[in-house]
Amino acid sequence: MNMQDTVLGIELGSTRIKAVLVDKDHAIIASGSHEWENILERGVWTYHYEDIINGVQDCFMKLQHDVMDTIGVPLTTTGAIGVSAMMHGYLALDEHDRPLTEFRTWRNRTTGKAAKELSEKFSFNIPLRWSVAHLYQAVLNREEHVTRIKKITTLAGYIHYLLTGKFIVGVGDASGIFPIDTKNRYDESMMKTFNHLVEDYDLPWNIEDILPAINMAGEQAGRLTETGARLLDPTGTMREGILFAPPEGDAGTGMTATNSVRVRSGNVSAGTSAFAMIVLDKPIEVHREIDIVTTPTGKPVAMIHCSNCTSDINAWINLFGEFAENLGVNIPESKLYRMLYSKALEGRPDCEGLLSYNYYSGEGITDFDEGRPVLLRKPDAKMDLASFMRTHMTSALATLRLGMDILKDEHVEIDRIYGHGGYFKTPEVGQRILSAAIDIPVSIMQSAAEGGPYGMALLCAYMIWNTGESLEDYLDNKVFDKVAHKTLMASSDEVDGFGRFISNYRKALKVERAAVESF
């Protein structure tokens, strides 16, 4: 097999680093992965830099082994490589390209003052997790490192820089660093406003000096250097010179992996966190709950980002697994999840007087800086397994529903929506509950399970194999034209039941607030 006819996508997600090798038919032929988890250290959600590098290397080594096992040749080159990672957060470098602080992930909610002030001054919603919010908060806090900043970037941009020496991000990733204008550049008027806001702090830089360059999908973004090749593959097998696509955030690669980059299309990614991405056909008003980012080709996207989704479900399922082990019953994890997820469909759609808040961390949609998982029930509620699981599966999408209600009030049109991520792995369950939540048919693609790394590989493929068509047409006509998908629409009873649940959820938010304040 000619390895020049393959492309490689790597994504650093919240709980897993994964690499997939894709052939010219856009089929995955090999993969590798590395499990990891963020840590809360001195009040900051982070990953250690050595864990980032070690994780990428371990993931790539496992990919190499899979290539040898399945294809029978060493992985020495490929047609193109692309790196994706969890969006936003804060990664600042000094003049020697050394990190100045810990990597501050999207999960941190310590930037409230900065985000509020920037949103007011820009007349544009700046979420707490965006890079500019972290930067401005560091300035307001007079953190010592801010006078030594030479670059700020995202995790994807950082890895891309280490591998290629090019200080570049894709436009979708850039839109989570600083607001983007209609010409797909950092907004000049907002940069002037930012510089004015920090002029009394005697900083040796202006904002435009420290931001990465922006590339669009399809553009070339550098090549693998000798240093980068040794970082990626310490064994020396991988050759330098391989072409790179612009690095993207996981939102952009999720859109690509689900063929949701066309106007009026959308997708919902649901795992540790959940977010909906709806490609807009018209501007909408400024809302604190809605982020405006872009597709990898620069089209405006309404993003509803929920910091919490399946973590609380996972905790309960682990508890059930431990209970089974104590009875001497060893149930494989995949079977346990499938059984308990499926049980949720037997519960009543309104959850019968049960209510839960899955807030492991703060939640921007409902304006919480911290979270406490809470389960509530009325004394006469039906407390059986089906109702219990339905409650947690429904709660996982509650904040997403609150954001989608805003888009509904804005009369945003959606022609199609796809689901992907761990929440949808058990057939029909997550798909049906999401459809009930948003009152729209939901489709699941056969290929969507691979998610971000596959989407990044497709952006590589588009860069080197497109024949002049748009990304939208390339995906429609060359990638997803024969991919099987299943579409489901929730029943009217399920839609109405989710509506009753969310009404109770809104009313009882004061209970979650009290839990945070008192426990």
pLDDT digits (tens, 9 = 90+) for 270-300: 988 898 999 999 999 999 999 999 999 999 9
CA distances from 1 to 10, 23, 26, 29, 479 (A): 21, 10, 15, 11, 20
Encode 73-82: b = buried (16+ Cβ within 10 Å), e = exposed: eebebbbbbb
**331 and 200, same domain (yes or no):** no
6: left (phi over 0), alpha (psi -120 to 50) or beta: beta
List the beta bridge partners of residue 303.
Answer: 277, 291
Question: Residues 111, 115, 116, CA angle at the centre, nearest 5°?
Answer: 120
- The CATH number that applies at residue 123 is 3.30.420.40
**207 and 323, same domain (yes or no):** no
Question: What does the alpha-carbon distance between residue 507 and residue 519 come to, in Å, rounded to a whole number?
Answer: 20
The answer to whether position 357 is within a domain reads yes
pLDDT, residue 87, reads 87
The domain boundary residue, chosen from 188, 211, 234: 211
Residues of the chain whose pLDDT is less than 50?
A: none
pLDDT, residue 448, reads 54
The answer to whether position 146 is within a domain reads yes
The answer to whether position 41 is within a domain reads no
**189 and 333, same domain (yes or no):** no
The answer to whether position 189 is within a domain reads yes
Domain limits at 129? 88-153+178-211
The answer to whether position 95 is within a domain reads yes
pLDDT, residue 485, reads 86
**375 and 510, same domain (yes or no):** yes
**205 and 319, same domain (yes or no):** no
The domain boundary residue, chosen from 189, 211, 233: 211
Encode 206-223: b = buried (16+ Cβ within 10 Å), e = exposed: ebeebbbebbbbbeebbb
Question: What does the alpha-carbon distance between residue 385 and residue 344 come to, in Å, rounded to a whole number?
Answer: 8
pLDDT, residue 447, reads 58
The answer to whether position 389 is within a domain reads yes
The answer to whether position 328 is within a domain reads yes
pLDDT, residue 124, reads 96
The answer to whether position 302 is within a domain reads no
User: What is the count of structural domains for the chain?
Assistant: 2
**Phi and psi dihedrals of 487, rounded to 5?**
-115, 135
Give the DSSP H/E element, type plus range, for residue 250.
Answer: helix 250-257
3-state SS assignment for residue 29? strand
Torsion of CA 316, 18, 296, 458, to 10 degrees: -120
Kindly report, residue by residue over 205-219, the tens digit of the pLDDT. 999 999 999 999 999
Output the six-digit token pair for 396.
């996982």
CB neighbours (10 Å) of residue 157? 30
**365 and 497, same domain (yes or no):** yes
